[in-house]
Structures are given as structure tokens and as C-alpha cells.
Amino acid sequence: MKVTEHIKNANGKTLFSFEILPPLKGQNIQSIFDGIDPLMEFNPPFIDVTYHREEYEYKELPNGLLQKKIVKKRPGTVGICAAIQNKYQVDAIPHILCGGFTKEDTENFLIDLDFLGIDNVVALRGDAVKSEIYFKPEKEGHRYASELVEQIANLNKSVYLDEDLKNTTATDFCIGVAGYPEKHMEAPSMDSDIHFLKQKIKNGADYIITQMFFDNQKFFDFVSKCRAEGITVPIIPGLKPIATKKQLNLIPHRFKVDLPDCLIMEVVKAKDDEGVKQIGIEWSIEQSKQLIAAGTPVLHYYSMGKAENIKRIASAVF
């Protein structure tokens, strides 16, 4: 079932969903199930599965030259989605990236998903690989998420890359895209960021999931700006509880997300990471309650495969 249909069928009730990481290469899928099982009591209608593009590593050869090697550290997104739908009978939503894919790769990926009965995808540009400062698209790939959305929407209209194909079948994907309540780190302004988000909706996106935030007012302001620009699709907030002191520096640096001063000081005063974890849970509970009271359609938690914190939050609000 499509995400938009889940929201419509909920009749105003706020739904619970979460996002997981594929396991590291060499690990089995049981680690995924261990992170999902404790959260199934909250009846998630869908579970997101991230996709991690290849990374580059360099090996020095005997002649002194460097050999570039492509390494995929977290493979298995498609297989995990199929396993989740088979085991739990809930919709699994794979992320699709511009980075690391040609247009033909993307089309073949979407065909496989369609064959598996997967109804939803999240279209993302993706980040630059660690060895590069700025994002670089594949030679025959997409530079922007809006272009990726357009390709998926075209496939929904039975428009394939090969124009000579006959009797083609249309797919029927519900397309999610990312939104940034504090703007994307590369966007020069919030207005420009909303402009490009609007382009993704125009190209065929059906709903928005936001990056994490810790100040609900920033989310409410973001929603208001989207609505003022004519964006009417559902906007789903993404939430992540702080769990370690290290994240006070990591989150603002990596995601360009601000942390409220009062949250920072609470974490700074905590004796250990167990105390930080409790602070993060309590903060996220209050965020969640306020978002539910505001009529938010879904609360989407970035669990990253660790269920304990999310279960404690969900137990308090759902």
C-alpha cells in the first residue's frame, strides 16, 4: 500500500514509522530483525531501508601507483525490503540515490522493486563520497533528486529509457523525497531550498520526509513555508533521540542541524552516556507529543537499527 493511502486510511490518527540501516557486509539479516521485532507492537505501516552507495579506497601497488577500489560496505537494500515485507507483512520502502547509479541502473533497480511488489520509494540525491568534497553524479546519472523523481514518475507513466520498447507496463510507485526544516547544507537560503523542493513535487513526488530536527518550531515554520508555496503533499517529520555526548558535535557538523541551548546544557551536565540517553528519550517524547497534538500524519524515527530508545519513546506516546 502507498504511504499516502496509509495516511488517508488513518483518518487523522498519527502513525508510527522508522528507518533502518542495512547490516555491514558480512553480517546476516538477523541483526535487522532484532532491531525491528521490539517495535512491531506499535504497528508501523511502513519501514524505510537506507541505501549506501559505494565508497572508494586506495591501495598502493608495488610500482608506487595507487589503485582505486570500489567498496560497498552496506549492500542488501532490495533483499532486506523483500524480507521485511515477507516476514512482517508491512510495506518496506527502499531509498534510491542519484550517486552511484546511471539512469539505466536506476531503471533496472525500479523494475526489480516493481517485481517484488514494493509500492513506495524515497528518491534522494545522496551525499558526496568521503574522498570527495562535493557531490559528483555518475557520467550517465542524475545530478539532482528532482531528475531522479522525474524518471520514477515517467516509469509510472510507462515511459522507459528505451523508446523502442513495445507494450510496456507502467509501474505505480508512491515517491517520497527529503525536506530540510533548517535547509539543506548546500542550499544558499531557505527560500531557494523550498524552491527546489517544490520542483521535486512538481516532477511527481507524493510526500516529504524531513531530516532530523530538535526544535519543533523549526518544523512548523518549514511546513508553513511549504504550504505558502503551494506544496500540499503530506510532510512527515523525522526524529532522532540524542544518545551520546559525542553527538553534540557530530550532529551539527555532519547534518548542519542546530541543537537548542537547553538541550545542549542538559547533555553537558549528564554524568555519562546513560544519562544522555535518558535526556534524549525525554526530549523526543515531548517533541512527539507536541507533533501529535498538532495533527502530524506520521512520526518517523531514525532508529539506525537500535530499537531500545525508540521503543521507550513510542511506549510513551502511542
- Which domains does the chain possess? 3-317 (3.20.20.220)
Cα distance between residue 174 and residue 45, in whole Å: 14
Quote the pLDDT of residue 141.
82
CA pair distance 240, 220, nearest whole angstrom: 17
23: left (phi over 0), alpha (psi -120 to 50) or beta: beta
- Please list the residues that pair with 301 across neighbouring strands: 18, 239
According to the model, what pLDDT value does residue 259 have? 96
Neighbour tally for 232: CB within 10 Å: 9
Mean pLDDT value across the chain: 90
The contacts found for 264-268 with CB under 8 angstroms, 24 or more apart, are 267/242
Residue 48's SS3 state is strand
pLDDT of residue 166: 84
Closest CA to 213 of 175, 242, 177: 242
Segments in the chain below pLDDT 50: none
Spatial separation of the C-alpha atoms in residues 95 and 166, rounded to whole Å: 29
Cα torsion 138, 139, 141, 146 to 10°: value is 90
pTM: 0.91
Q: What pLDDT sits at residue 55?
A: 53
pLDDT in tens, 137-192: 678 888 899 999 999 999 999 999 998 888 889 999 999 999 999 999 889 999 99
Instruction: Decide if 39 contacts 310 (C-beta within 8 A).
Output: yes
For 276, the grid coordinates are: 544522555
